[in-house]
Amino acid sequence: METGVKLFEPLNVRNEVVKQMEQMQEAKFVKLPENYKESAFFAIEKLASLPDIERVPAIGITKALISMFANKLDFRKNHCYFFVQNDKNTGKSLRFGWQYQGLISVAKSQCDVYEVTPVLIYENDTYECHYEYGSLIIDKHVPTFEGKIKGGYCVVDFNDKKRLVKFFTMAELDKRRDTSMAKNGKFWNWEREMYEKTLINATLKRLIETSSDIDVENLYEEQPETTQRTIVDAEIVQQKEIAETTKKVQI
């Protein structure tokens, strides 16, 4: 380690970060959730494993956590991940990106979403759909889970019984995969589950951006290639069959 760079000591850092957050809240600069101390303690303990975290000043960690709280996210529930980024003016800063669990949580709490169901389409499936007044309607989908994946759609059911269906071609899904730092990581051994998460991410990011009061500055935040990310075990999304009945679409 270079001279002048202090070791990252979670206990000291979290005491300073909590103090800064308390001062900001007392001055009415921010409004924090009731459990912000517990959430901050947990996050800072985990941050100790991040490369270059010792170069991020306490105020940088404070700002990142406040931004996380402003987006209604909870690090303890795998709603987001953190990474250290190079900044031209300030040196090192702490940033966060959204996990699909966070997208689902915010969509349900802020966008009146009841359930989100990602569905993949395989080359041997029977799949029929049509557009009605600009809305995609799935007429029939008989899944086989055989052959190559040809695309997929994500069904968003709302509490008021309305439904949104977003379709993505395989090229669109792979384009999103290519932007990921872990595009060839070990989690892609479970290809189906990873493409399902891609469907969720692509659909809910747009929904949250247009249908909530969330500060979406970090919504499309992608980790730069010069940093490393701590991997959090992902929950497996179980695919449900969506079948409801005109024109067959070739994909």
Q: In terms of Cα–Cα distance, which of 191, 113, 180, 179 is closest to 152?
A: 191
Of 51, 76, 98, the one marking the end of a domain is 98
Least confident stretch, 8-12, 33-37, 70-74, 231-235: 231-235
Are 125 and 203 members of one domain? yes
Structural domains of the chain, count: 2
Are 93 and 133 members of one domain? no
Are 124 and 181 members of one domain? yes
Of 38, 67, 98, the one marking the end of a domain is 98
Are 63 and 141 members of one domain? no
Are 134 and 74 members of one domain? no
Are 70 and 129 members of one domain? no
Q: Is residue 158 part of a domain?
A: yes
Are 83 and 179 members of one domain? no
- pLDDT given for residue 35 in this prediction: 87
* 178, 182, 248, 251 from 62: Cα distances, Å: 31, 27, 53, 47
- pLDDT given for residue 127 in this prediction: 95
Q: Is residue 244 part of a domain?
A: no
Tens-digit pLDDT profile for residues 189-201: 557 888 998 899 9
Q: Is residue 111 part of a domain?
A: yes
What value does the mean pLDDT take over residues 22-50? 89
* Distance (Å, whole) CA 204 – CA 185: 23
Tens-digit pLDDT profile for residues 118-134: 999 999 999 999 999 98
Q: Is residue 223 part of a domain?
A: no
Q: How confident is the model at residue 247 (pLDDT cuts 50, 70, 90)?
A: very low
Are 32 and 108 members of one domain? no
Are 209 and 143 members of one domain? yes
Res. 62: pLDDT tops 90 = yes
Q: Is residue 151 part of a domain?
A: yes
**pLDDT: is 230 or 65 the higher one?**
65
Q: In terms of Cα–Cα distance, which of 191, 187, 170, 165 is closest to 125?
A: 170
List of E strands, 89-179 = 91-98, 113-122, 126-132, 135-142, 149-158, 163-169
Are 183 and 134 members of one domain? yes
Are 119 and 140 members of one domain? yes
Q: Is residue 228 part of a domain?
A: no
Residue-range definition of the domain harbouring residue 55: 10-98
Are 105 and 165 members of one domain? yes
- pLDDT given for residue 176 in this prediction: 78
Q: What are phi and psi of 153, to 5 degrees?
A: -140, 155
* 75, 82, 191 from 181: Cα distances, Å: 20, 14, 16
Q: Is residue 116 part of a domain?
A: yes
pTM above 0.95, yes or no: no
Of 73, 98, 123, the one marking the end of a domain is 98
Q: Is residue 220 part of a domain?
A: no
Tens-digit pLDDT profile for residues 71-105: 889 888 999 999 998 876 667 889 988 888 999 99
**pLDDT: is 215 or 228 the higher one?**
215
